C-alpha cells in the first residue's frame, strides 16, 4: 500500500493495542467492586462499635486504597511500576487490614492487593515468599477478631495463602492476555521490518547484478580509450563506441528493472488487500479473476484494487468489502463495494483521478460513488483487446 495507508495501518494497530490495554485495565478495576460492597457492609454493621471517626477514616482509607490499586494496575500494564507506589499502597493496605479486628469482611482488602501486586514481583520464589509473608500478617490480624483459639492463626494462614495464590492465578490469566497482545504487536512490527530489510537486500543484489559488470566494462574501456587517444585515435573511437553501447545497455536494463519493481501483480494484490482489510476488521469477499487476462489489464486492475482498499481504510468505517472481477463481452469488469462509507464534502482526491488515467490508457472507464444509504462502489471496465 501507499505510504499514507501504511501509516494509517500502523495507527490502527496501535489503537487496537491500546483498546486491549483499556479492556484489561477496566477488568481489573471492575473487581474492586468486591472491595467496595463488603467494605460498605462492614462499616454499616460495625458502626455502633467503632464510632464515627473510625468509620470516616476507614471510608477514606478505602478510597485511597482504590486509587493506589488503580495506579498500580495501570503502571504495571505499562511496564513501569515504581517501588514507591508498591510501598505506599502496601502501607494503606496494611492499615485497612487492621479493620479485620472489627469485621471479617475487611479480609478482602489484602486479598485483592496481594494477588494483584504479585503479578509484578519478579521470580517465582519471590512471588511465593511475598504471598506467604502477606498471608502470615493477615492471619495474625484476622485471628484477633472474636474469641481466641490457638489453632486459628494456622487455619487463617492456610486460608489466606490459598486465597492469595488462587486469586493471583486468576489475575495472571488477564495479564497473560495482555502479554500476548504485546507480543503479537511486536511480532507484526518485526515482520514488517524484516520484509523491508529483505526487499532492500534484494534490490541491492539486483542492482549489483545489473550494473556491476556494465560499470566495470565502462571504466576499463574509458581508461583504455584515454591511453589510446593520442597513439591510435581510431582505436580510441572504437573503445568509446563500446562505452556508449555499454552505457545504453545498462540504462535499458535499469529501466526494465524499474518497470518490474513498479509493476503490480493482480493475484498478489488481491491476497495483500484481503490480509490488510481483514487485519483492519473488515470482512472481505474476493472472487477469483479470469485466468486469461493480458498482463497490462491485470496490472491496471491491481492498481484499482490497491487504491480502492486504501479508500476503504481511509474514508470509511466499513465492516464488509466485496471485490468481483468478471468478463463482460470483450471487456472485464471490476467492482469493489463496501459499506460504512462516510459522506464527503471535499472534492475527489488525486488517487481516483490517477486511476482513471491508467484505465483510460487501455480504453476503459472508471466510476466511483456512493450508493444506497452507506455503500460505496468503485467500478472499472477495461477492454481485454487492444485499446
> Alpha carbon 343 to chain centroid distance?
27
Neighbouring CB atoms inside 10 A of 153's CB total: 17
Predicted confidence pLDDT, tens digits, the chain (387 residues): 333 345 666 777 777 888 888 888 888 888 888 778 888 888 888 888 888 889 899 899 999 999 999 999 989 888 888 888 889 999 999 999 999 998 888 988 999 899 889 988 888 898 999 999 999 999 999 888 877 778 888 999 999 999 998 889 888 888 888 888 888 888 877 877 787 787 788 777 777 777 777 777 788 878 888 888 888 888 888 888 888 888 888 888 777 766 665 555 788 788 888 877 887 778 888 888 887 888 888 888 888 888 888 888 877 888 889 999 998 888 899 999 998 887 765 555 567 787 888 888 888 999 988 887 788 899 999 998 654
**Whose grid coordinates read 481485454?**
384
**What is the radius of gyration, based on Cα positions, of the chain?**
35
Domain range list for the chain: 3-184, 186-262, 266-383
| Residues 6+ positions from 96 with CB-CB distance below 8 Å | 58, 61, 62, 65, 106, 109
Residues forming beta bridges with residue 383, ordered by sequence position: 331
186-262: in CATH 1.20.5.1930: yes
CA distance 307 to 285: 17
> Alpha carbon 156 to chain centroid distance?
45
CA distance 64 to 57: 10
Question: Which set of grid coordinates corresponds to residue 183?
Answer: 507480543
Q: What is the CATH number of domain 266-383?
A: 3.30.565.10
CA distances in angstroms from 182 to 7, 28, 244, 255, 333, listed in the order given: 19, 18, 56, 43, 42
Amino acid at each position: 500500500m501507499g505510504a499514507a495507508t501504511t501509516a494509517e495501518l500502523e495507527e490502527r494497530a496501535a489503537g487496537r493495542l491500546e483498546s486491549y490495554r483499556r479492556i484489561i485495565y477496566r477488568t481489573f478495576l471492575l473487581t474492586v467492586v468486591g472491595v467496595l460492597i463488603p467494605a460498605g457492609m462492614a462499616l454499616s454493621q460495625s458502626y455502633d462499635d467503632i464510632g464515627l471517626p473510625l468509620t470516616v477514616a476507614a471510608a477514606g482509607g478505602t478510597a485511597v486504597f482504590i486509587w493506589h490499586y488503580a495506579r498500580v494496575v495501570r503502571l504495571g500494564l505499562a511496564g513501569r511500576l515504581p517501588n514507591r507506589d508498591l510501598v505506599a499502597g502496601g502501607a494503606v493496605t496494611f492499615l485497612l487490614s487492621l479493620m479485620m479486628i472489627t469485621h471479617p469482611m475487611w479480609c478482602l482488602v489484602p486479598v485483592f492487593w496481594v494477588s494483584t501486586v504479585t503479578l509484578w514481583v519478579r521470580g517465582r520464589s519471590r512471588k511465593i515468599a511475598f504471598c506467604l509473608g502477606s498471608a502470615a500478617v493477615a492471619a495474625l490480624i484476622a485471628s484477633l477478631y472474636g474469641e481466641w483459639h490457638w489453632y486459628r492463626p494456622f487455619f487463617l494462614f492456610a486460608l489466606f495463602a490459598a486465597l492469595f495464590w488462587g486469586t493471583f492465578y486468576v489475575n495472571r490469566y488477564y495479564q497473560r492476555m495482555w502479554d500476548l497482545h504485546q507480543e503479537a504487536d511486536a511480532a507484526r512490527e518485526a515482520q514488517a521490518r524484516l520484509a523491508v530489510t529483505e526487499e532492500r537486500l534484494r534490490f541491492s543484489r539486483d542492482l549489483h547484478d545489473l550494473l556491476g559488470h556494465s560499470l566495470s566494462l565502462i571504466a576499463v574501456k574509458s581508461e583504455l580509450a584515454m591511453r589510446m587517444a593520442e597513439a591510435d585515435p581510431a582505436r580510441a573511437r572504437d573503445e568509446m563506441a563500446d562505452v556508449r553501447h555499454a552505457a545504453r545497455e545498462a540504462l535499458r536494463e535499469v529501466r526494465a528493472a524499474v518497470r518490474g519493481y513498479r509493476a503490480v501483480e493482480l493475484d498478489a494484490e488481491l491476497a495483500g488487500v484481503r490480509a490488510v482489510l481483514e487485519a483492519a476488521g473488515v470482512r472481505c469477499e474476493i472472487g477469483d479473476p479470469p485466468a486469461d487476462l493480458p498482463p497490462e489489464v491485470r496490472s491496471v486492475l491491481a492498481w484499482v484494487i490497491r487504491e480502492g482498499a486504501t479508500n476503504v481504510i481511509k474514508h470509511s468505517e466499513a465492516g464488509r468489502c466485496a471485490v468481483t472481477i468478471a468478463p463482460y463481452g470483450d471487456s472485464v469488469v471490476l467492482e469493489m463495494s463496501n459499506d460504512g462509507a462516510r459522506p464527503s464534502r471535499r472534492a475527489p482526491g488525486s488517487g481516483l483521478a490517477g486511476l482513471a488515467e491508467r484505465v483510460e490508457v487501455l480504453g476503459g472507464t472508471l466510476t466511483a460513488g456512493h450508493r444506497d444509504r452507506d455503500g460505496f462502489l468503485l467500478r472499472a471496465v477495461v477492454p481485454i483487446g487492444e485499446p
